[in-house]
Structure 1
Amino acid sequence: MNSGADLLRIEDLSVSFAMLGGQLDAVRKASLRVLPGKVTALVGESGSGKSVISQAVMGILPKTASCSGRILFCDPATGGSPADLLQMPRDGREIRHLRGNRMGKIFQEPMTSLSPLHTIGNQISEALKIHTDKSARERRERTEEMLALVGFAKPSRAFDMYPFELSGGMRQRAMIAMALICNPSLLIADEPTTALDVTIQAQILQLLRGLQTKLNMAMLLITHDLGVVANVADEVVVIYHGEIMEAGPVETIFRKPAHPYLKGLMAAVPHFDMKPGERLKALREVPVNTSSLLGKKRLVAHAAPTKPDVLLSVRDISKTFSTRKSSWLTKDTSAGTKAVDGVSFDIMRGECLGLVGESGCGKTTVSKILMRAVTPDAGAVLLNSSDGPIDVLKAEGDGLQTLRTKVQMVFQDPVSSLSPRMTVQNILSEPLEIHDRGSGKSRVETVKALLKAIGLNERHLNRYPHSFSGGQRQRIGIARALALGPDLLICDEPVSALDVSVQAQILNLLKDLQKELGLTYLFISHNLAVVDYMADRIAVMCGGRIVEVAPRETLMRAPVHPYTKSLLAAVPFPDLDRPLDFSILDPGGASDKRSWGKQFSDEGEEGVLSTADLGGGHLVLARRNADVRELRP
């Protein structure tokens, strides 16, 4: 095809970085195109070179990078011939004229890519100040117009707000406004929805798709989420270790994938149509060897039905965080946010209970209360441990030490939850030392057994966390949690920071460990497909309350609460025959109670909510006088 027909054409692009031990080839002979007014998705795992390609296009590669090949950009505004972006001086006038003006970019993490010291309006209007001769008043008007376009209800108020005053979704909208303020012909969106809830993600995708059509703008969408690709892209380019493996129209890529890597990626994605017992096919399987693991026999023995079926019983826990609205003259601590509001649930021995909901619904606060990291205002938590019942909230001294061995946590971010100054051996032996388990020699054997159980070997013992991939770091976090042979493992978003292929490894590992060791999980996530794969029962949380609890099959096939229905409707499927229905997405978000209907709302005179039992372990939060027969689907 003649390159004049393409808005952006990348030909034989190679990018390498100068390193101490030689050079690192990040991109090798990559070729792709972006057509005017179309969306091209660049798909691959972390480290495959996706972001490096986007940085090369924008001319923001670090000085250590050396490039070869051509990046041809044919700007419709100039109507001229294609210009080679790689030939332009790195910080010359030509590339600066294009950057932020004719080419916009949305970065992956909205919190770190917005300045905390400047208002939203100040940051968005900066591009107008640089690239146009508009007056301050005209710039403000145009910025407020753009804020309204990306979904801010009160643009004039948002103009004067700082990034920390906005939620993650609203910050991402502000980033989109900043990228589009000069009406660029090309938008590069680098993982624009990775850090967002499924409902907010659906809104952002709808917004991007709508703006792209309205402004007739081309988009290079960088992502590892095949569900997003199926709903947004026109063309797909698959990249692996810096090389393009497969490229073509979205129809061909999804219906007739040819390359084994692409087929492997598709098989690694959890989806709602999986049969009971079906496993995810990870690209690289992790061997699980628990035969020599400390505490295996003890754990499996105590998983026997002689013990009470309920491992953890949580009753009416509440927690309010007070926000001080006071100066040094006045003290007013009356304002508060109810993070957890009368939450009750049971976790059965040997099961996995999934806890789902949007950011800010109180999931992590519940997990911190169970870990004794946060003290609730009211409620009771009882753990029927292998050594007898423990009152979690009243345990002190030796009782608290015992509790710490019985409940362990796998954290969301494997980078910040592992000390960068400790080797893997130190990290894994630390719990054993704190709780005085075994001798120095036996601890070393235990650490080796833990490593073997998670698919790593002895040569990794003296390495530091920074020398591992994200998936390997998360495996080390899981091994640390298993070191003391706990009864309950709390997994707080353990795969949200990982690629789809690595995610499959970790989920399969957790399933294997549960089966081998008789573990019990509380699995917290906002990814419903992941929870569907892992959980036996699912509890749905909204605004600090559990609104629905049911066995996995029941909740996924026949949800009752409007909030649960909204969450499920917002999940993008990696399937062209099941596109997202943007028309049923509520503009106010899934947690907007006004759209829930009278039976589920706590507003009005009779707005007292209670738990209605629909039978078969299916509970839903509804009005006290609601007819159970009407609630059933």
Structure 2
Amino acid sequence: MVASADLLRVEDLAISFAIMGGAIHAVKRANLRILPGKVTALVGESGSGKSVIGQAIMGILPRSARARGRILFSDPESPGETADILQMPPDGREIRGIRGRRIGKIFQEPMTSLSPLHTIGNQVGEVLKIHTTLSAEECRERTEGMLALVGFPNPRRAYDMYPFELSGGLRQRAMIAMALICHPALLIADEPTTALDVTIQAQILLLLRELQANLNMAMLLITHDLGVVANVADEVVVIYHGEIMEAGPVDAIFRRPTHPYLKGLMAAVPHFDMKPGERLKALREVPVNVENLLGKKKPKKGTDVLLSVRNLTKSFSIRQSDWSFGEVATVRAVDCVSFDIRRGECLGLVGESGSGKTTVSKLLMRAVTPDQGSVVFNDSDSPIDVLSATGSALRKLRTKIQMVFQDPVSSLSPRMTVQNILSEPLEIHGRGDAQTRLASVSALMRAIGLDQHFVNRYPHSFSGGQRQRIGIARALALGPDLLICDEPVSALDVSVQAQILNLLKDLQKELGLTYLFISHNLAVVDYMADRIAVMCGGRIVELAPREALMGNPIHPYTRALLAAIPFPDLDRPLDLGMLRKNGASDTATWGPQFRDDGEEGVLAHTDIGDGHFLLARRSADAKELLPC
């Protein structure tokens, strides 16, 4: 029998998947409990079995799965009764009465979890139609009420909108509304904030905390982010390769960790207290060997500035209505952006989703044409005008600037082997013959710490961290001077993230590389960057050396970004009461000296000393930098 104190108890749960040549044991005799009204965090790396346990509790394991053990659910609606979810037929009436009504789930990626063909109201209201006898009018009323509860500014309008019309944060709120519409006793949140930037993540965490308390609901939070765990969880369960390593109250887990795996996870998280030169402690280090790599020991000639960007501007036209006859509006995605990247340095570019960071990277790579501005690449031979280069100049430029993309799954062709992927840049630019290209591929594999026997494998057979290393190797194939890294670790868990960040640092040191490192995570940028530029609404609002920006942020937007970062430290909790519901970019909360509201006094970049630049109103004694 289940103790009355437990809402759900997992006992000796073992889950395996049948594959060619044997079976994969994803979960091995796992035991955990979830208390009523409490948040239990299930923590571990990708592939540790977290999501499989969540699927088992929901009764949605794939047909190839074999599960043994017990999952005992004590529904508060049926006092004294206990149901074993594993014994229920996966499509039977009993499990369908629990799934979606008494146990709700938020999935990791809202865009792929929501139907693109149905409105938000249809999808949220469908749960009520399945589990209740409410009329259509009552369903709409309750759905709009739930959309308001989860933070939609205009629930009536949102009801008739499609997922593609919503931002990432609002899509996640729609998923939360769908999971909570029937007021379940247990909510399973599977990586609910992984795809979101820090300010939206903080808003979602605040929302979940408030809803969990107001509805007296238990929550199983599946995550790899220890900062999120420290700010939300009451109990913590640590899982590794399908086995529970450690479990207990959050205070005991964080203050007195005993298992080496948990200590390793904590050491892999970048934090603001790291000393200069201190490295992240990855659970599995990546050996770096660049001895025979193309581009090593390049001479550093010419000016100290490698890339000079001036007044870069790009606008996009959008239609105001759903169909083709609506009015056209213009959105300025990049607004008079200027910065320099010095040789051998890492310039961090941070900001919320939609701030214009990725658009800047596309403009620098010539994937998008700007409306105005200039970009000059100071090659060791002669400067190259990036925006007007053609023919052989453009071809040469392509070898000098390369990009590491955010998503290693979609940026690598599933139809090409690793050897084809790494040799393709060499073939395109006519570097060497087949034999020398094969030697270059071997050198690239050694440089990223992958076994050379893997060259004939396809991307799907690698883990997320290994795929990202392959993406880095492809970017290094032509021996570039500048790497543009667009959110290269945002899709990775903390232990793999530490591997990739250390690898990038080692490659920078060994090859003399220069980085433009784009991210929404200031803790990651703090570890990687020498200087940091902060973007908001298409403009750089603050630019400073790393120590100055982190130690003395001045712009309200920068301060809001820093305040939204969850620390894996119980003594430094998020101030959830101070978080802005409209995000860090809500200019209404900024002082008049930082707000562009059409009043007298134009915003301009001013130098406040020691290379610290700020977008603020022009003052008589301020030294201007690149006014727009």
Alignment counterpart, residue 320 of structure 1, candidates 315, 320, 323: 315
CA drift of 1:145 comes to 1.1
Aligned residue for 1:357?
351
Aligned residue for 2:386?
392
CA drift of 1:328 comes to 9.9
**1:539-597 Cα distance to aligned partner (Å, 9 max, x none):** 00000000000000100110000000000000000000000001221121100111011
Amino acid at match of 1:390: I
Contact 1:547 1:620 in 2 (8 A): yes
Alignment counterpart, residue 503 of structure 1, candidates 489, 493, 497: 497
The separation in 2 between residues aligned to 1:480 and 1:20, in whole angstroms, is 31
Alpha-carbon RMSD: 1.5
CA drift of 1:329 comes to 9.2
Amino acid at match of 1:66: R
Contact 1:601 1:607 in 2 (8 A): no
CA drift of 1:79 comes to 1.2
Q: How many equivalent residue pairs?
A: 623
Alpha-carbon spacing, 1:332–1:17, altered in 2? closer, same or farther (3 Å)? same
Aligned residue for 1:45?
45
Secondary structure of 1:146 counterpart: helix
Aligned residue for 1:591?
585
Amino acid at match of 1:392: V
Contact 1:4 1:81 in 2 (8 A): no
Aligned residue for 1:10?
10
CA drift of 1:330 comes to 6.3
% same residue: 77
Aligned residue for 1:452?
446
CA drift of 1:422 comes to 1.1
Query: Counterparts of 1:404-483 in structure 2 under 5 Å?
Result: 404-483=398-477
Amino acid at match of 1:311: L
Amino acid at match of 2:318: T
Contact 2:2 2:72 in 1 (8 A): no
The separation in 1 between residues aligned to 2:124 and 2:513, in whole angstroms, is 50
CA drift of 1:626 comes to 7.6
Pair 1:526 & 2:520 matched: yes
The separation in 2 between residues aligned to 1:51 and 1:14, in whole angstroms, is 14
Contact 1:561 1:620 in 2 (8 A): yes
CA drift of 1:61 comes to 0.6
Amino acid at match of 1:199: T
The separation in 1 between residues aligned to 2:320 and 2:216, in whole angstroms, is 47
Pair 1:22 & 2:17 matched: no
CA drift of 1:259 comes to 0.5
The separation in 2 between residues aligned to 1:452 and 1:154, in whole angstroms, is 54
Contact 2:2 2:9 in 1 (8 A): no
The separation in 1 between residues aligned to 2:211 and 2:461, in whole angstroms, is 41
Aligned residue for 2:118?
118
Contact 1:432 1:443 in 2 (8 A): yes
The separation in 2 between residues aligned to 1:208 and 1:331, in whole angstroms, is 37
The separation in 1 between residues aligned to 2:493 and 2:511, in whole angstroms, is 26
The separation in 2 between residues aligned to 1:220 and 1:147, in whole angstroms, is 22
The separation in 2 between residues aligned to 1:26 and 1:327, in whole angstroms, is 45
**1:154-210 Cα distance to aligned partner (Å, 9 max, x none):** 111111111111100001011111111111010000000001110000000000001
The separation in 2 between residues aligned to 1:592 and 1:82, in whole angstroms, is 48
The separation in 2 between residues aligned to 1:18 and 1:330, in whole angstroms, is 53
Aligned residue for 1:282?
282
Moved over 4 A (4+): 324-333, 626-629
Contact 1:606 1:623 in 2 (8 A): no
**1:229-268 Cα distance to aligned partner (Å, 9 max, x none):** 0000000000011110100000010001100000000000
The separation in 2 between residues aligned to 1:429 and 1:266, in whole angstroms, is 38
Pair 1:130 & 2:130 matched: yes
| Runs of 5+ unmatched residues, structure 2 | 624-628
CA drift of 1:439 comes to 2.0
Alignment counterpart, residue 375 of structure 1, candidates 369, 376, 379: 369
**1:247-290 Cα distance to aligned partner (Å, 9 max, x none):** 00000100011000000000000001100000000000000011
CA drift of 1:388 comes to 2.0
Alpha-carbon spacing, 1:574–1:326, altered in 2? closer, same or farther (3 Å)? closer
Return the TM-score normalized by structure 2: 0.97
**1:133-161 Cα distance to aligned partner (Å, 9 max, x none):** 11111111111111111111111111111
CA drift of 1:519 comes to 0.3
Secondary structure of 2:533 counterpart: strand
Contact 2:2 2:82 in 1 (8 A): no
Aligned residue for 1:172?
172
Aligned residue for 1:210?
210
Return the TM-score normalized by structure 1: 0.97
- Which stretch of structure 1 is more off in the superposition, 226-235 or 114-123? 114-123
